[in-house]
Amino acid sequence: MSNFHNLNETLAAMAKAAAPDVTAARALTIGDGVIAGVLRTGSDNDNEVGLHCQPHHEELILVLEGEAEFRVGDETRHVRPGDYVFVPRNTIHGTVGATSKPLSLLSIITPRIDLARDVTWQGEPLRFQLV
């Protein structure tokens, strides 16, 4: 895994590699205490990243493309490219309505997370494809 990445190239590669009805996920950096990756919704799905929380992790999310209503705790805001969202530990968060497709998010989580073990979903877990 390289230490250098170009987000435009990453998004283009993800768009080509993933099925249009699923959310694509790509790890960019996996360190001892942090993980960074990109999520990109497909053009044919509902564009939502379901509500969930990470009880022992903090997350910083940067909106790369698309727009959505994003919830953190009891607060919901409209986010668009360039906006960033901080999610404290054990806080329910996710998109609750998308206004444009696709929605791409850069996510940085600390400490390093195991998505299968460390995420608690409210409802159906997000279906994603690693690309």
Q: Where are the domains of the chain?
A: 7-125
Q: Average the pLDDT over 28-55 and give the result.
A: 83
Cβ proximity of 110 and 58 under 8 Å:
yes
**pLDDT category of residue 76 using cuts at 50, 70 and 90:** very high
Q: Quick one: which of 115, 18, 117 has its CA closest to 59?
A: 115
Q: Cα separation of 121 and 131, whole Å?
A: 22
Tell how far CA 95 is from the center of its chain: 9
Cβ proximity of 119 and 103 under 8 Å:
no
- 61: three-class secondary structure by DSSP: strand
* The CATH number of the domain covering residues in 7-125: 2.60.120.10
Would you say residue 49 has pLDDT above 80?
Answer: no
pLDDT of residue 45: 59
Any idea how long the chain is? 131
DSSP one-letter code for 31: -
Q: Average the pLDDT over 10-26 and give the result.
A: 85
**pLDDT category of residue 96 using cuts at 50, 70 and 90:** confident
pLDDT of residue 85: 97
Neighbours of 65 (CB within 10 A): 17
**pLDDT category of residue 104 using cuts at 50, 70 and 90:** very high
Output the pTM of the full model: 0.89
**pLDDT category of residue 79 using cuts at 50, 70 and 90:** very high
Which position has the higher pLDDT, 109 or 114? Answer: 109
